[in-house]
């Protein structure tokens, strides 16, 4: 087992990883930018080192500096968390070249699944259904118009690289498509260095449901059931729950088996997530694979009792999974909400100083925090500052617990999306399980 791990990340996920490392008796190395010099993850690390200026390309994306710190501190492995360098195949390769264990899948697997176009082709070859659409990049807007006219509107225009909803847009006619192609191609190029675009058929009122998998280096692969992630804003998830109230046991098993089949087809190892779109008839289609720990992993931990970070570390150290599919049990229901430093109406970021922070308490409440009272939320990073997860013996109880927890959650000094989350939790459509991807547009005004 590793004695020292460097966490190549910041905020709540860095704290989350360090918490498990501490429980496992593993020493942690934290990194921080000039803007994060007083951040909670630095205070929790056993050692912490400045990695660069406030902007991500100066600090948390500075691969050479991160590897230099790892070498100087005697680090054995690097945990990338999610975002930033977590799905950067070049970073994973450089870790290997430096004699460090990258806590995640192999670089070639990351690269293969990092391209949505390539991942679609791979899944089709493996016999996994995908959303109807292209398996090649569009050369220009004219070709996009030609393809979509044959496919039919509405369509979903997508960037092949990256994630987080960047480079995605629903288009309903030629004028929208031409405008969206240019703007989204530029965004994809700016964010991911890859402007490749393609289109898929847009499924009306689908659900976004994903399957968590674990796979060791000996070929053993498990699915840890699903997470319902349909409530989104700007194609970014804000509410996640497990299990889904929509999926029946037969569909659940079929989706789990499809996810395992997909993972095995590429020789996947470590934690990963297969994302699906599910229509009203419970037909499911491969959307993409995230080759990392998901933001929403706590809901799976709550219903399974597993520590996914611990499992990641054990797998990366060469251990075999000590679980079988039959060993896994689900208990109760869990719901997670993402708390963003943003205006709840416009979704624009809201940087500033947190002057008051009061957290809800209770055995049914779990917190992931990247801030504390007096923290300065800067404009340099993703506005996600915390996550709140609640549990209940069933979905109704979990929703009631969520409403209570959100009522007690207080953050002052900055705007947050807590008012929006309270509105979701109180809405009858949410209670009824009517949680398709158009929930925000349909119900929240």
At how many degrees (to 10) do helices 89-97 and 63-73 cross?
30
Q: Which residues contact 377 (CB under 8 A, 6 or more apart)?
A: 341, 350, 351, 352, 353, 354, 371, 383, 385, 414
For residue 68, say if its preceding peptide bond is cis, omega within 30 degrees of 0. Answer: no
Q: What is the DSSP letter of 111?
A: H
Output the six-digit token pair for 159.
Answer: 């960037």
**349, β-bridge pairs:** 342
Question: Residue 292 catalytic?
Answer: yes
What is the rounded CA–CA span in Å between residue 293 and residue 81? 6
**In sequence order, what DSSP letters do the residues of 256-315 get, joined into one string?**
HHHHHHHHHHTT--EEEEEEEEE-TT--EEEEEEE-S--TTHHHHHHHH---HHHHHHHH
For residue 281, the number of C-alpha atoms closer than 13 Å in the C-beta half-sphere is 3
Output the six-digit token pair for 327.
Answer: 């060993």
**387, β-bridge pairs:** 338, 368
What is the rounded CA–CA span in Å between residue 255 and residue 330? 16
- Secondary structure of residue 44 in the 3-state scheme: helix
Tokens 């964010």 appear where?
A: 191
What is the rounded CA–CA span in Å between residue 407 and residue 110? 40
Output the six-digit token pair for 318.
Answer: 């060469």
Tokens 């194609």 appear where?
A: 235
What is the rounded CA–CA span in Å between residue 244 and residue 252? 9
From the list 252, 292, 366, 395, the catalytic residue is: 292
Output the six-digit token pair for 22.
Answer: 């501490």
Output the six-digit token pair for 369.
Answer: 């925090």
- Secondary structure of residue 344 in the 3-state scheme: coil
CB atoms within 10 A of CB 94: 19
What is the rounded CA–CA span in Å between residue 197 and residue 35? 34
- The residues carrying an active-site annotation are 292
């Amino acid at each position: 087992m590793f004695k020292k791990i460097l966490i190549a990340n910041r905020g709540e996920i860095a704290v989350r990883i360090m918490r498990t490392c501490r429980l496992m008796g593993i020493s942690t190395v934290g990194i921080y930018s000039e803007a994060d010099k007083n951040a909670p993850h630095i205070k929790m690390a056993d050692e912490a080192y400045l990695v660069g200026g406030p902007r991500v390309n100066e600090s948390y994306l500075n691969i050479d500096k991160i590897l230099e710190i790892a070498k100087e501190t005697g680090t054995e492995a690097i945990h990338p968390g999610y975002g930033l360098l977590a799905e950067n195949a070049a970073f994973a390769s450089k870790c290997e070249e430096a004699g460090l264990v990258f806590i995640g899948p192999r670089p070639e697997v990351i690269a293969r699944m990092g391209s949505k176009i390539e991942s679609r082709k791979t899944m089709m070859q493996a016999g996994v259904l995908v959303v109807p659409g292209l398996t090649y990049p569009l050369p220009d807007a004219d070709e996009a118009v030609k393809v979509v006219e044959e496919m039919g509107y509405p369509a979903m225009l997508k960037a092949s690289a990256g994630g987080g909803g960047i480079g995605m847009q629903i288009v309903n006619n030629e004028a929208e498509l031409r405008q969206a192609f240019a703007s989204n191609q530029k965004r994809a190029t700016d964010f991911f260095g890859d402007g490749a675009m393609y289109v898929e058929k847009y499924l009306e009122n689908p659900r976004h449901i994903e399957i968590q998998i674990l796979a060791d280096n000996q070929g053993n692969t498990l699915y840890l059931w699903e997470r319902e992630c349909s409530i989104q804003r700007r194609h970014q998830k804000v509410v996640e729950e497990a299990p889904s109230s929509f999926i029946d046991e037969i569909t659940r098993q079929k989706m789990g088996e499809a996810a395992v089949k997909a993972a095995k087809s590429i020789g996947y190892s470590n934690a990963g997530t297969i994302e699906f779109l599910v229509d009203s008839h419970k037909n499911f289609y491969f959307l993409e694979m995230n080759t990392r720990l998901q933001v929403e992993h706590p809901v799976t931990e709550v219903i399974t009792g597993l520590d996914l970070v611990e499992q990641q570390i054990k797998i990366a150290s060469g251990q075999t999974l000590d679980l079988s599919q039959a060993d896994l049990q689900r208990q109760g229901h869990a719901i997670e909400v993402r708390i963003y430093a943003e205006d709840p109406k416009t979704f624009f970021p809201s940087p500033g100083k947190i002057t008051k922070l009061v957290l809800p308490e209770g055995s049914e409440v779990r917190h992931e925090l990247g801030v504390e009272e007096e923290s300065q939320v800067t404009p340099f990073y993703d506005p996600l500052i915390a996550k709140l997860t609640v549990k209940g013996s069933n979905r109704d109880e979990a929703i009631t617990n969520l409403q209570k927890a959100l009522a007690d959650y207080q953050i002052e000094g900055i705007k947050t999306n807590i008012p929006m989350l309270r509105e979701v939790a109180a809405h009858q459509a949410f209670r009824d399980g009517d949680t398709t991807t158009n929930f925000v547009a349909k119900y929240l005004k």
